[in-house]
Amino acid sequence: MAGGAPAPPPAELASSPDSVGVWRARLRLALLGFRQGWAIFAESRIGLVGVAIIVLFGVMAVSHPVLMATVWDPSVYDPVTGFAFDRPDHPAPPSWRHLLGTDPLGRDILSQLTFSTSSAFMLGMVAALVTVGIATLIGAVSAYFGGPVDAFFMRLADLIIILPTISLLIVLTALFGINLFQLALVLGILGGFGGTAVVIKSQALSIKVKPYIEAARLAGGGPFHIIMVHIVPNLLPLSLLYMMFTVTGAIFSEAVLSFFGILNVRMSWGIMIHTASTGGYLLAGAKYWWLVVPAGAAITLLCGSFYLVGRALDEVVNPRLRRR
């Protein structure tokens, strides 16, 4: 820092003749990193089990519209308004026409189950993207600037961490009647300004002191450039990891709120259990198992699979956990 104005940033770096080569090299590096990461990931059977379950649910989500368009008659199999005329008794036990039986209102359980899968995925994805988007940006900004910015965001995160989220959401959903997408946004905002931001910021702090950040600053990079080009890309692996945990939390919260019957959605796994519970079919023993077990197992399995993938990713991101 021996005086003199900092050199102007090398203009139009990206469009120089070499840029194609640079991008090719970057692509190759990314592929290599991905392959190495996958090798570590695949080593843990837990992660593979998680991926398998997620793929299974993906197939289920895709199968519903396809089946509705081809095999299933909408007047019978619609998850909300359908009615199984072919059975006199509802809830009817599993049969060939209704593989998982029908609910007390005569609707097909399998159709409800597969229909709810895609909305669960949508909710999880939106909540995770919003969470990680906010958290990564806040983490990078507060680590880079420090001082009052950092203090403000971290105190805000402290506040959100100790909030009883479900209790707050119960009040919010019951009084305002929010729908699935709004719930995803609320969950994403709460998560993004909360605990995830703290974790990502601590990682950003360790990146901020790396020599290449110093080099970028000496080369004349402004705060925006350094945060977006040098800090955020290095935070992405950790962000990906926290996306997985966010998905688990989001699906869980949605299911709890619809189980209480206060969320404004047409059909979801939580509502399926709510229907069985308010109808008084739960204590009839195992006789009406198909009303509760498929939906409960679906929630548990999908939450669990994202959590398992998250844990396997943890071993990729955090070398101290590896066995070698």
* Residues found near another protein in the complex (CB under 8 A): 45-46, 158-159, 161-168, 170-172, 174-176, 195, 248, 252, 255-256, 259-260, 262, 269, 273, 277, 282-283, 285-286, 292, 295-296, 299-300, 303-304, 307-308, 311, 320-321
> Of the two residues 101 and 249, which places its CB atom closer to another protein in the complex?
249
The nearest distance, CB 68 to another protein, in angstroms, is 26
> Of the two residues 67 and 293, which places its CB atom closer to another protein in the complex?
293
Q: Do 288 and 281 meet the contact criterion of CB atoms below 8 Å apart?
A: yes
Q: Do 126 and 115 meet the contact criterion of CB atoms below 8 Å apart?
A: no
The span from the CA of 47 to the CA of 244, in Å, is: 12
Measured in degrees and rounded to the nearest 5, phi and psi for residue 54 equal: -65, -45
The nearest distance, CB 276 to another protein, in angstroms, is 9
Q: In the block, which residue shows the tokens 């119960």?
A: 170
Measured in degrees and rounded to the nearest 5, phi and psi for residue 102 equal: -125, 165
The nearest distance, CB 236 to another protein, in angstroms, is 22
Measured in degrees and rounded to the nearest 5, phi and psi for residue 208 equal: -60, -30
The nearest distance, CB 249 to another protein, in angstroms, is 9
> Of the two residues 97 and 287, which places its CB atom closer to another protein in the complex?
287
The nearest distance, CB 169 to another protein, in angstroms, is 9
DSSP-H helix ranges across the chain = 19-43, 45-70, 74-77, 109-145, 147-161, 165-176, 180-193, 195-208, 211-218, 223-225, 232-259, 269-278, 289-317
> Of the two residues 113 and 227, which places its CB atom closer to another protein in the complex?
113
**3-state SS record for 147-186:** HHHHHHHHHHHHHHHCCCHHHHHHHHHHHHCCCHHHHHHH
The nearest distance, CB 38 to another protein, in angstroms, is 21
The nearest distance, CB 142 to another protein, in angstroms, is 18
> Of the two residues 178 and 226, which places its CB atom closer to another protein in the complex?
178
> Of the two residues 63 and 300, which places its CB atom closer to another protein in the complex?
300
The span from the CA of 25 to the CA of 18, in Å, is: 11
> Of the two residues 147 and 164, which places its CB atom closer to another protein in the complex?
164
**3-state SS record for 105-143:** CCCEHHHHHHHHHHHHHHHHHHHHHHHHHHHHHHHHHHH
Q: In the block, which residue shows the tokens 């990461």?
A: 37
The nearest distance, CB 137 to another protein, in angstroms, is 22
> Of the two residues 27 and 159, which places its CB atom closer to another protein in the complex?
159
Q: Which two tokens stand for residue 179?
A: 């729908």
The nearest distance, CB 107 to another protein, in angstroms, is 19
> Of the two residues 231 and 251, which places its CB atom closer to another protein in the complex?
251
The span from the CA of 65 to the CA of 117, in Å, is: 11
